Structure formats: C-alpha cells, structure tokens
A and B are shown apart, each in its own frame.
Chain A
C-alpha cells in the first residue's frame, strides 16, 4: 500500500498562502512535520511524495523536507519522490550527497524510479536491475550482473540499509510506485 502525499498541499497549509515555492528552513520543517503526521496516521509502508505542484525547491527545504525525513523515518517507511523537475533533482541530490543518503525518485513520464543522492556504482546497478526485473535474491542478482555473490550481497545490503529495496525472506523487491 502506498500513501501519496501532495507536497504542494502541505506547503499551502504550512505558509497559509498560495505560494508554490518550497523555500526557507521553517517552511521545510513545517512541511516535514505534516508529512510525519500523515505517515503516523497511515498503515502504508511506502510514502510517495508528490512534488508536481511545486515550482521551486531551495537547498534549505531540500534538506529539511527530504534529507531530514529520510534520517527520521529510516526504520519505518520506504520513501519515493515523484513529480520532480530537473532543478528539484539538483537541489535534492546536492543535500542527499552531503548527508550520504539516497532516495528513489520517479522521473516525469516514467514508472520506474531512479536513484538520487549518494549511492555507489554497484548499488545503482543493483537498484536498476531489481527495478527492471522484479524481485531477485542475491544469487540471481549476482548472476544477472556477472558479479561474485559477495558483491551482489554487499550491493543489496547497501540498498536495504537505505530502504531502497524491500527485503522479504531471501528476495529483494523493488519499491512500489503505483
């Protein structure tokens, strides 16, 4: 189950004005608090944060909304972003790299997410493989990518640690986006 959260709606509630720019730390903190409250009331495991109503995301808000959310909900939810434009990507990627965090983001017009932020090459390749092929165990992933099993295990371990795949039993599932 997915909980879709429209960031534009939360922004308008937070600033009590029809602005579409996600700027300033207090605003970002207020939006994050609303996201956390929404998730606390939800039974869903995946939060799909929809930025499509947002015009601008500055560094402060990228840090307050996305980075701090990932830091605080790391053990509870899977977080996926959607509706990001190129400049949103840039700001969010910058802060996530700074914090050594990563998140899955669905590019406009696509269904498959891609990784944003700090992730090694192996983790990125493993993420793409699982996103394209569906659930895989360590052996199948390693075979598919022509890696030793230990390398596949490490890459999937990284992804699971950052909640970028869903481990169920021996299998690693791609994040739900729809």
Chain B
C-alpha cells in the first residue's frame, strides 16, 4: 500500500501543516508518494521541507519514496534552477520529466537549495551568499549596506543550529520574492530545515525539569527563541537567536521556528500569524524561516 501525500498548490509555511499532516504517524509505515503535480508555487521553506521529509524517511530506513514532479513547466524550471531536483533525486524516485538546471544571469534565488552537514558547509554558504545578498538587500529592499553582513551573520547562526543541535544534516535556501497578499512588498526569505532531533529533545536534559508538566515542543521553542537558552552549559551559548531577533526587530522582519508539533513566531505588525501554534501535525526535526521585507520609504 502507498500513502499519497499531496504537496499543496501554493506551498509555503502557511500550507506546510497540511503537507505534514499527510504523513500521519511518523515515520509512516507505508511506502510514500509525494505528489507535486498540481503545485503551482513553492517557497524555499516548502522545497526544503520536501527534502527534509525524504531525508527523514531515508534515516528511518523506509523504502525510497516517490516524488511526482509538478506538471507546470515554469514551476519545474524554477525548482530546477533552485537546485531542488539535484538533491531530490538522491532521496526520492522522481517521476515526470525534470528539466536540466542551468543558472543564467542574476536570479531571485540567492542561495540554491544547499545541504548543511558540517561547519565547512556553513563557510561555503556564507561565502556564496555575500555577493548576491548585497544586490538584493541594499539594491532591492532598501536596507542599509551593513545589513548585508548582518544578514550573512543571521544565516550563519541559523545554519549552525543544524550542525550543533540537529544530530543530522539539513538544508538551507535563500530567495527573494514578492509577498503580494500578505505585505505587497519584496522580501528575502531564509529557510533552514533539518530532520534531526528537534528542539524538545535537544534541550530536554538541560531544561525540561524547570518547565515541569508544561515541557513539550512549544515550551522548548519558547526556551530557545524567547529565553535564549542552549543545551550547552557554556555561558556563551544561546546568543545567536537573540542577535537575529534584534536585527529582525529593526527591519520589521519575522522569524518562525517549527519543531515537532509546535511553531513559534516573532510576528511583525504586517503579518497576521499567531505567535504560538501547538498540537500541529508532527514533522521531524526543525524548520526555521526568516523573512526580511523591503523597507518602506519612511524608514529608509
């Protein structure tokens, strides 16, 4: 028997829970078919979410899942351009014609879908992002020049969370696009995802006790994002997310972290998201999304 999991037509952080719900109990006992034929658009968060599912199934020693590629040629080309199929072909049995990726000139993809396995990969990611980030952040979004370095710093810290806490590898992608419905402005989105132990298990031994019965995925996210705690006893730890929050506050940005069955967000005024969502469908590891919007003329 095969479990069919539909990729939402418009696949981003908002529709992610529907995708996660498709898996049921984790890991699903049946063979999995991820069906993206009807997908018209996917954010970087969505793309690396699919890869994370494939990775988690592989790590759970499940049968290699199937992935039917989008039928829309433009969507397929975009996914190819973002490097998605290159990595998906290792985790899924692909069905449908996949275009060859080939970068041509400047693109809205600041960073292709990139695996993060070790510290060396973080160096590569930061090195790769530096040129394109300046063009988009300063040129298009109207952020001050020094924002490029802060952005790279945020990216570095977010990727290091995988290396230091996940217990397995993960993925990162960065893209610029226009938030038409939510904001009506250009944004840059950093998406980072892993199939690892998640925040609750990572922090459990050091912090569960003081939360008592409240301890769970939501409390773990709160400890990490609001209280800046770390699983390490080293007093220098836990500063990365605090620094990211400070930048985002200046830029009216948003950070949301989903782990296990909960999602916690620092919500800017332009967004209608709820700060904490609990009892969500279980999904492995942790998924982080950072959104930085174009600055309005008055704040430039």
Contact = CB atoms under 8 A, between A and B. Distances in A.
A15 B153 CA distance: 18
B130 interface: yes
Contacts of A23: 122-123, 126, 153, 156, 160
B146 interface: yes
Contact of A87 (B122, B150, B160, B236): B150
A91 interface: yes
A71 to B, nearest CB: 9
Interface stretch (A76-84, A93-101, A113-121, A167-175): A93-101
A21 B152 contact: yes
Chain B interface main SS type: helix
Interface in A4-56: 15, 17, 19, 21, 23-27, 55-56
A64 B240 CA distance: 13
A95 B152 contact: no
A59 B123 contact: no
Contacts of A68: 236
Contacts of B150: 87, 90
B160 A60 contact: yes
B213 interface: no
A86 B119 CA distance: 25
B30 interface: no
Given A87-B150, A94-B243, A21 B236 contact: no
Q: How large is the interface on A (under 10, 10 to 19, 20 to 34, 35 or more residues)?
A: 20 to 34
A75 B63 CA distance: 59
A94 B164 contact: no
Contacts of A21: 123, 126-127, 130, 152, 156
Interface in B106-163: 119-120, 122-123, 126-127, 130, 146, 149-150, 152-153, 156-157, 160, 163
Contact of B243 (A17, A55, A91): A91
B105 interface: no
Contact of B240 (A26, A60, A87, A99): A60
A156 interface: no
A63 B239 contact: yes
Interface string B233-251: 0011001100100000000
A56 B152 contact: yes
A90 B242 CA distance: 13
A87 B239 contact: no
Nearest to A17: B123
Nearest to B120: A15
Contacts of B243: 59, 91, 94
A59 B163 contact: no
B119 A25 contact: yes
Contacts of A99: 235-236
Given A24-B160, A67-B236, A95-B236, A58 B119 contact: no
A26 B160 CA distance: 10
A166 B149 CA distance: 35
Interface in B235-269: 235-236, 239-240, 243
Contacts of B160: 23-25, 58, 60
Given A24-B123, A24-B163, A58-B157, A86 B240 contact: no
A60 B152 contact: no
A75 B46 CA distance: 52
A61 to B, nearest CB: 9
A23 B157 CA distance: 9
Nearest to A61: B156
Contact of A98 (B146, B153, B239): B239
Given A27-B123, A95-B236, A99-B235, A59 B157 contact: yes
B157 to A, nearest CB: 6
B119 A19 contact: no
A94 B122 contact: no
22 contacts: A15-B123, A19-B126, A21-B123, A23-B126, A23-B156, A24-B122, A25-B119, A25-B164, A56-B152, A57-B153, A58-B126, A58-B240, A59-B239, A59-B240, A59-B243, A63-B239, A64-B236, A91-B243, A95-B236, A95-B239, A98-B235, A99-B235
**6 closest A-B pairs by CB:** A63-B236, A24-B119, A87-B149, A58-B156, A23-B156, A26-B119
Given A15-B120, A17-B123, A91-B153, 8 more contacts: A23-B160, A56-B156, A59-B153, A60-B160, A68-B236, A95-B236, A98-B235, A99-B236
